[in-house]
Structure 1
């Protein structure tokens, strides 16, 4: 009976997440009500509240699941070596492409800024963590450079999704990797 309950809980959470994601394609998280989510998911409010306190907690659950999957992908690659960097960046874009609908919605104007901030923290943790020691960079300079590269990468990814993934993950990885490692002078 316990596994049956687990499956029911999993199904309910899946339906709630799907319903919120559909609503986020139409309107902002702040204007979505629990009633709307419940109607779309065809469940009652008490069932909703058994799983989540509000729409923001549900959104956070979706973001955490996405980030957990992304981290699982990123931990497979070593960013210290340039070849590993390119391969990891390509795998990042492949992951984004495979999850494009979710990613595009989470990066849209209809959600909150927390997802982008979480993305910045993950990128810092998994991609740029050794820069400060490898490049003998002071903490303040590192913060500025990291902020520039990570926020730029997020908006490049967002634009790529909005443009229908008009370049392959490999092409996007090469563009970003060349810019990050060699700067603008090598982009000619």
Structure 2
């Protein structure tokens, strides 16, 4: 990738995060962002349709970074403690950025995008289950349930502690019994 493209996108990213830390997404203008990023509007429109497109792409970048810590979606089945430690650890490490990019009305987008990404990884390995409602429901429950248990308790303690991550991880271990019983071909490689 051209160094100018990299610099422009980094400048746009930094300006966006800075503005998002102070304003709601719908109140940020392209003009304001371009001034902050020291770029022309034409440069912005070369890469993005509008502020919502930029926000969506930045959200996806953040989620890709989080999900990239999951080396294998099979970990959700085989090693749920390791899976949640990795996932929630990445969420913890990116807390400030997540709180900015996914603030306000954008907050639900985080877990929706994480879930889609994790399910995509899972179904790439097991395409036969892509339309299986039972399996999709179980995966959603495991992903959303663990995440929301973590977030709810984090909000009550304002702490992304290892103890909280460990609690959610251990609980998720019990979920795998249901997952393994429901998805015979996804049974642990260890059994």
Same fold (TM over 0.5): yes
Helix, strand or coil at the partner of 1:111: helix
Unaligned runs of 5+ in 2: 176-191
Equivalent residue, structure 1, for 2:57: 61
d(CA) in 1 for partners of 2:30 and 2:149? 33
d(CA) in 2 for partners of 1:76 and 1:49? 36
Task: Please list, as runs of the form range in 1=range in 2, the aligned pairs for 1:36-75 lying within 5 A after superposition.
Answer: 36-75=32-71
Q: Is the 8 A contact 1:160 1:166 kept in 2?
A: no
Corresponding pairs, count:
170
2:31 to 26, 35, 40: 35
1:106 to 75, 97, 101: 101
Segment of structure 1 superposing worse, 72-81 or 20-29: 72-81
Equivalent residue, structure 2, for 1:26: 22
Segment of structure 1 superposing worse, 39-48 or 111-120: 111-120
Q: CA deviation at 1:26?
A: 2.2
Equivalent residue, structure 2, for 1:186: none
1:13 to 9, 15, 18: 9
Segment of structure 1 superposing worse, 143-152 or 64-73: 143-152
d(CA) in 2 for partners of 1:46 and 1:112? 29
Helix, strand or coil at the partner of 2:106: coil
d(CA) in 1 for partners of 2:151 and 2:104? 11
d(CA) in 1 for partners of 2:147 and 2:101? 12
Helix, strand or coil at the partner of 1:23: helix
Q: How far does the alpha carbon of each residue in 1:112-145 deviate from its partner, in whole angstroms, 9 at most, with x for none?
A: 6444321222344457999xx9xxxxx5555555
Q: Is the 8 A contact 2:150 2:165 kept in 1?
A: no
Equivalent residue, structure 2, for 1:152: 145
Q: CA deviation at 1:88?
A: 1.9
Residues 154 and 19 (structure 1), Cα distance of their counterparts in 2 relative to 1, 3 Å cut? farther
d(CA) in 2 for partners of 1:13 and 1:27? 20
Q: CA deviation at 1:34?
A: 0.7
Q: Which has the higher contact order (CA 8 A, sep 6+)?
A: 2
- 2:179 corresponds to 1:182: no
d(CA) in 2 for partners of 1:101 and 1:161? 14
- How large is the Cα RMSD of the aligned pairs? 3.3
Task: Please list, as runs of the form range in 1=range in 2, the aligned pairs for 1:60-99 lying within 5 A after superposition.
Answer: 60-76=56-72, 78-81=75-78, 84-99=79-94
Equivalent residue, structure 1, for 2:188: none
Q: CA deviation at 1:90?
A: 0.9
Q: CA deviation at 1:9?
A: 0.9
Helix, strand or coil at the partner of 1:74: coil
